[in-house]
Amino acid sequence: MKKTRFLIAGLMLGLGVAHAGEIRHSGAGHVFNPTWSPDGRWLAFEINDYEGTNDLYVVEMMSGAAKASPTKAQLPGARSSFSSGGSMAGAAVWHPQGALIFEGSNAGGTTRLFLLSPGTQGASELISTAQIKGDLSWPSISPDGRRVAFVSDVSGSGDIHVWDRGTNTVTRMLTSPFSEMAPSFHGDGQKMAYSRKNRGGEDLFVLEGTSARPWVGGNGDQSRPVYAGQTMLFFSNERGEDQWDIAATTAVGSKKVIARNVRLPLRAQPNVSPDGQWVVYGVSDPEQSHKIFLTKIDGSRTIRINSGKVAAGEPSMVSAGGQTYLAFTALPNAGADWRQLHVLDITNQLP
């Protein structure tokens, strides 16, 4: 397949150094995957110590700063809120009503989905093993908050299921011999995009009801789709295994690369601005890694924000109280042991 060329038409804005505030915490490890609540009041993030433990923290925010110390999500059965001994908690998504749904497992256990109310530490299991057994992953919430899509290995491969909150039932949406991942609801709530492992790579599909439709394929992986209005954004490494781009598609088979050589987040999808007009990302180029980039989803314009940090990435945007905030992870300029979490007010740097 002919490789997609990268083209940014329009204006590139170089902005001055922004001053990011660090969100301090008690964890030891690299910070990953900051995720704002829809109202901007809470910020969730992960800390991975690279020794088998991945923890989920939540902090209350006000005017871009932490109101108190972040608290760590406590899984049922863990020994304490400070030492969970090889547990995993992450891949968090926010419910429209403010709760947090995430993947979690205690040491050696299966991965299940959990529900956490901000301001508390104790999480509860969202879906019981009586409803569906096995490992559950990749939660995605419908726009109305009624349904949660996820992937289960109970059938031996990764198949998409949906839990309906109103009826408390789990429905298997499709069956295939391949592994499905990363379901993402469209804004209309009637269809969802997802990726499927297929002959060594990943292709994108769209599910409407129980009918799966091939959408975008190609060399390598087309992965982690997310909708911005009628446009689907996703990561693609079609140019090479370690060369990741952000691409956009609006019709079956169409694909346009709008950002090249991006820093791939650990698990997150491309981050879309609250107004649905921009995709936000860091880049892998060391000479540009102190910047966070915002590109219009049609590829027509890019803004560069100088974070003043090193290896900035995994950005997440939110609008709250008339301001726009950017959370991201980065290394300090010198003497860095771990990636840390930072927040910028970028209100005056947007068009």
CB 239 within 8 A of CB 283: no
Cα Rg, the chain, nearest whole Å: 19
- Which residues in the chain land under pLDDT 50? 1-17, 80-84
d(C-alpha 321, C-alpha 63), whole Å? 8
pLDDT, tens only, 4-59: 333 233 333 334 445 569 999 988 899 999 999 999 999 999 999 877 789 999 99
- The confidence score (pLDDT) of residue 336 equals 66
Two structure tokens written together for 103: 């993947």
Can you count the helices (H) and strands (E) in the chain?
A: 0, 30
- C-alpha distances (whole Å) from 327 to each of 191, 245, 308 are 29, 21, 14
Nearest by Cα to 287 from 266, 270, 312, 268: 312
Backbone angles phi, psi at 213, to 5 degrees: -120, 120
**pLDDT mean across residues, the chain:** 89
Cβ-Cβ contacts under 8 Å for 318 (sequence gap 6 or more): 36, 37, 38, 40, 274, 324, 325, 327
Nearest by Cα to 283 from 329, 338, 244: 244
Q: Which helix (H) or strand (E) holds 141?
A: strand 136-141
- The confidence score (pLDDT) of residue 85 equals 55
Two structure tokens written together for 119: 């301001």
The residue with tokens 């019981």 is 128
- Count Cβ atoms within 10 A of the Cβ of residue 21 and give its class: 0-12 exposed, 13-18 middle, 19 or more buried: middle
- The confidence score (pLDDT) of residue 239 equals 93
Strand partners for 271: 280
d(C-alpha 26, C-alpha 22), whole Å? 13
CB 256 within 8 A of CB 296: no
Task: Output helix, strand, coil percentages for the chain, rounded to the nearest 5.
Answer: 0, 50, 50
- Count Cβ atoms within 10 A of the Cβ of residue 3 and give its class: 0-12 exposed, 13-18 middle, 19 or more buried: exposed
Question: What's the CATH superfamily of 12-349?
Answer: TolB, C-terminal domain (2.120.10.30)
- The confidence score (pLDDT) of residue 75 equals 92
- The confidence score (pLDDT) of residue 335 equals 63
DSSP state of 297: T
Nearest by Cα to 93 from 30, 132, 143, 24: 143
- C-alpha distances (whole Å) from 291 to each of 143, 304, 314 are 31, 6, 12
